[in-house]
Amino acid sequence: MSGRSVYTAFQAAAGRFGQRPFLRTPAISAASYAGDAIEYTYESAQARVNALLSSYAARDLQAGQRVALAFDARLEVYLHLLALNALGVSVVPLNAGASDEELRHIIGHSDSRFAVSLPEHSARLAGLDICEVITEDDLFDSSAEPVCADPDLNREAALLYTSGTTGKPKGCMLSNEYFLAIGEWYIGLGGICSLDEHDRLLTPLPPNHMNALCTSFTAMMLCGGCVIQLDRFHPRTWWQTVREEQATVIHCLGVMTAILLTLEEEAGDDFAGQVKFCFGPGSDPKHQGAFEQRFGIALIEAWAMTESGAGGMTIACEEPRHVGTRCIGRPVDTMEYRIVDEKDNDVPTGTPGELLVRSRGDNSRRLFFSGYYKDEAATEDGWKDGWWHTGDVIREGDDGSLYFVDRRKNVIRRSGENIAAVEVEAVLLQHPEVNGCAVCAVPDEIRGDEVFAFLIVNQPTEARAIFDHCMAHLTYFKVPGYIAFVDELPLTASQKVSRGEIKGLARAAVDGGGCADLRQHKKRKQP
C-alpha cells in the first residue's frame, strides 16, 4: 500500500489551513528557553519543516534509517518528525529522564543513525558512546533540493519503546498508516468527542508516548486544529493556562485529575462553556463524577495500547458512559474482540476475562503496530491464534459496554507509565545483598499504582541503599516506592512466585506499616 505518509498528510493540511495555529507552547512552558510563548501556524510550520528537510537531506540519510530525538516535550519533536518522515526516516523519541542504562539500550537497540538533542542533554548522550549526537545548531541550512521518499503507508514512522512483561523495553514499530489511522479514528468519534479546525488541544503528556506523538498530534493536524504542548503538568496554574490558551480539549492522566481535585475550589472552576471534554484514561472511578461535577467537563475514559493502535481502541464518548464504573466504552465496528479465561475459552457476559482484540476483515493486524523490533518471537506470542492478547482483564456489561477490571500481565501502571515488574526485579537482583525478590503493584490514591518490592537479603540492609541502587539504574518512576524485607516468598506448586498472593501481602504491608515508604524520594532527574 502506498501514496500517503504523515508528511504528505501535513502538506495537505498546510495547504488547507495556512494561517491557522498548528503548534503552540504557552509562556509557562517556554519562558526558560524562549522568553515567551511559541506558536507555529500551518504555514510557518511548513517553512520550518522544509528548512529541516534540506538540512537532513545534506546528511545523506536514507529511507528506512532511524534518528533518535531528545527534545523533551518541545515543539521541535513534531517538526523534526515531519521533516524526517518526508525522507522516509523513522524517529526514536527519547525520555531524557531515563537512566543511562535505559538510554544506552534504546539508542543502541534501535540502530539510530545519530541523535538530535537539546544542548542540555547532548553531553550526557554523547557520553553513552552509542552514536553521534548533534544539536539543532549542527544542522546547517542547506539550499539543496531534498529528494523525498515515495510516501508509503507501511513504512515505519516511529519506533516507540514501551515496557512489556519480559526484560528491557521493547521497540514498537509504528507505520505511517498507524499514525494516520489513529488521527482519523479520533476525529471520527463524534458525540462528546467531536473535533474540528477550531479546536485547541492542551496536553502535558510527553511526545515519547503514543498519546501525544500519535493521537493528539495527528488528529489536530488532520482536522486543522492546534496542539498546545506543555513541558509538564503544572497543577497550580493549570486552569489559568486552560483559560488563557482558550483550550477546548484537554488531555491528561488519572493522576492529574486526582491532583486537580485536591486544589482549593474557586469561583471560576466551571469550564462547561469552553472545554468540550477531558480525555483522561485511567482516572480513579470515584474521581470521575466529582471531576465532572466540579469543573463542568466530561472526563472521558478509554482503553488502548501502543501495540493495538486504532485497530483495538475503545472509548466511552457516547451516553450512557456509566460514570464512575471504569467503563471504557463500546467497541467500534472495525474491531473484533473476545473476553476469555486462562485457557482462551470465551467467558459469559459479566464474567471478567482477558481482552483479545484484532481488526475486522482479511488482515487482523491492520492498524496495529508492525511488531517489536528485533523480537519476532515476542510479536508472534502476543498474536497467539490470530488475536492480540492484551493482558488486561475486562468484563462486558449487558448493553455491550466494556469495563476495565485488572491486569493479568505483571505490569504496573503508575501515573500513566507502564512498568514491567520483571525489569525492576532484574535491577534489584543486581544488588550484591539481594538474594531474591518479587515486585508488584499496590493501589495509590493519586498515581493509580505504586511499585512495591519484597526482598530476601543476605544480611541486614537499609531500604534506602536498595532504593538508591535502583535510582542509578532505572527511570525514577520505575523505582520501588515501597520496600519490605522477608525471609521467603510465597510459591505456587510449580515453584514460581505466587503473583496473586504477593499482591495481597503487599497491600497488607502498606496498610499495616510493614514496609519502608520511600515514595517521597522518587524524583525526576534534572539535566
* Model confidence pLDDT, tens digit, residues 199-214: 999 999 999 999 999 9
Cell matching residue 480:
520501588
CATH 3.10.450.50 fits 303-359+369-407, yes or no: no
The model's pTM: 0.84
- Superfamily assignment of 6-251 in CATH? ANL, N-terminal domain (3.40.50.12780)
Backbone torsions φ then ψ of 376, nearest 5 degrees = -65, -35
Tell me the β-bridge partners of 485.
Answer: 455
Buried b (16+ CB within 10 A) or exposed e, 454-474: bbebeeebebeebbebbbebb
CA angle, 253 then 258 then 262, to 5°: 145
CA distance linking residue 388 with residue 232, whole number of Å? 32
Please provide the size of the chain in residues: 527
Q: So what's the pLDDT on residue 221?
A: 98
CA distance linking residue 482 with residue 267, whole number of Å? 39
Cell matching residue 32:
526558560
Residue type, 324: G
Backbone torsions φ then ψ of 23, nearest 5 degrees = -130, 135
DSSP letter at 271 equals -
Sheet with 353-359, edge to edge strand ranges = 327-329, 402-407, 388-396, 353-359, 335-340
CA distance linking residue 414 with residue 447, whole number of Å? 6
CA distance linking residue 31 with residue 417, whole number of Å? 27
Q: So what's the pLDDT on residue 2?
A: 56
Backbone torsions φ then ψ of 152, nearest 5 degrees = -140, 120
Q: Which residue has the cell 502476543?
A: 382
Distance set, CA 339 to CA 143, 315, 357, 397 (Å):
56, 17, 9, 12
Q: Which residue has the cell 469543573?
A: 295
CA distance linking residue 155 with residue 370, whole number of Å? 9
Please report, for the chain, the start and end positions of each structural domain, with discontinuous segments joined by +: 6-251, 303-359+369-407, 414-521
Strands 132-135 and 114-117: parallel
Q: Which residue has the cell 518541545?
A: 74
Low-confidence ranges of the chain (pLDDT < 70): 1-2, 144, 164-167, 408-409, 492-496, 525-527
Does residue 308 contact residue 355 with C-beta atoms inside 8 Å? no
Does residue 379 contact residue 166 with C-beta atoms inside 8 Å? no
Closest CA to 281 of 94, 396, 418, 181: 418
Q: What is the DSSP string of 501-527?
A: HHHHHHHHHHHHT-SEE-GGG--PPP-
CA distance linking residue 399 with residue 197, whole number of Å? 33
Q: So what's the pLDDT on residue 168?
A: 78
Q: So what's the pLDDT on residue 495?
A: 59
User: In the chain, what are the helix, strand and coil shares in percent, each to the nearest 5?
Assistant: 35, 25, 40
Greatest extent of the chain over all pairs of C-alpha atoms, in Å: 69
Q: Which residue has the cell 517556554?
A: 30
**Chain segment 100-125, per-residue pLDDT in tens:** 988 999 999 999 999 999 999 999 99
**SS in 3 state form for 100-158?**
HHHHHHHHHHHCCCEEEECHHHHHHHHHCCCCEEEEHHHCCCCCCCCCCCCCCCCCEEE
Closest CA to 232 of 522, 477, 445, 30: 30
CA distance linking residue 3 with residue 420, whole number of Å? 38
DSSP letter at 347 equals P
Does residue 487 contact residue 517 with C-beta atoms inside 8 Å? no
A 10 A CB-CB count for 432 gives 10
Cell matching residue 513:
506499616
Q: So what's the pLDDT on residue 164?
A: 55
Does residue 40 contact residue 75 with C-beta atoms inside 8 Å? yes
CA distance linking residue 276 with residue 298, whole number of Å? 7
Whether residue 320 is preceded by a cis peptide bond, meaning omega within 30 degrees of 0, is yes
CATH 3.40.30.10 fits 414-521, yes or no: no
Q: So what's the pLDDT on residue 174?
A: 98
